[in-house]
Amino acid sequence: MRIGVFICHCGTNISAAVDTEKVAKAAANFPHVCYADHYLYMCSEPGQELIVNSIGENELDRVVVASCSPRLHELTFQKTLERAGLNPFMLEMANIREQCSWVHSRQREKATAKAIELVRMAVAKVSYNFPLQRPTVSINKNALVIGGGITGMQSALDIADAGYSVVLLERDNTIGGKMSMLDKTFPTLDCSS
């Protein structure tokens, strides 16, 4: 098992509160960690290159990225792993921004200690990860738009213009919604019919 750990500064979003170099040094000593580094923006092109190259050079089979919430960049880094030839699910993210630097902005020492613990946990979890394959499903190409106001009508027209069948469902007995109740519409004063 060969784990790589990558600590992101997120500009100063993380590095202002967390000593990223210290976190990287601590991570280098965690079980199975063969490589640990830190960089200004890990999600940027050079940041991702750093990960891809390190995977190749150090024969890494698992990766921990300590940066923002996985809601923001998990997909980004999963794709990075794929580019390096790893299964995307051999990635763990340690959220040291929303759950650390942003909430402990004036406690650098404690924030750094907490970031180290978060990375330690992610390293432990990634040790148990195994490759996953995405199942596939077929796509029925009919769309349902619920609501026949200006938004639903626009959506239905765009989908229909592309050649697909759309059901536009409206609970009232006419489409048009609130828009049809307006006399003229700003800023061009068009009619609403």
Q: Report phi then psi at 94, rounded to 5.
A: -105, 120
**Counting contacts by CB under 8 A, is residue 100 touching other proteins?**
no
Q: Is 179 in the site for other proteins (CB under 8 A)?
A: yes
Of the pair 45, 139, the CB lying nearest other proteins is at: 139
**Is the Cβ of residue 106 or residue 173 nearer to other proteins in the bound state?**
173
CB of 184 to other proteins, least distance (A): 7
- Please identify, among the stretches 5-13, 39-47, 60-68, 174-182, the one whose residues bind other proteins according to the rule CB under 8 A: 174-182
C-alpha 118: how far from its chain's center?
18
Least distance to other proteins, CB of residue 120, Å: 5
Beta bridge mates, 5: 36, 64
Q: Which stretch, 12-20, 32-40, 57-65, 157-165, contacts other proteins (CB under 8 A)?
A: 157-165
Q: Which residues inside 108-147 make contact with other proteins, applying CB under 8 A?
A: 117, 120-125, 127-129, 132-147
Burial letters 12-21, b for 16+ CB under 10 A, else e: ebbbebbbbe
Q: Which helix (H) or strand (E) holds 37?
A: strand 33-39
Q: Are 35 and 53 in contact (CB under 8 A)?
A: no
Compute the C-alpha angle 80/83/87, nearest 5°. 80
> Which stretch in 17-25, 36-44, 48-56, 153-161 sits in contact with other proteins by CB under 8 A?
153-161
- Contacts to other proteins from residues 7-66, by CB under 8 A: none
Contact 65, 94 (CB under 8 A): yes
Check residue 167 for interaction with other proteins (CB under 8 A). yes
Q: Give the amino acid at 112.
A: T
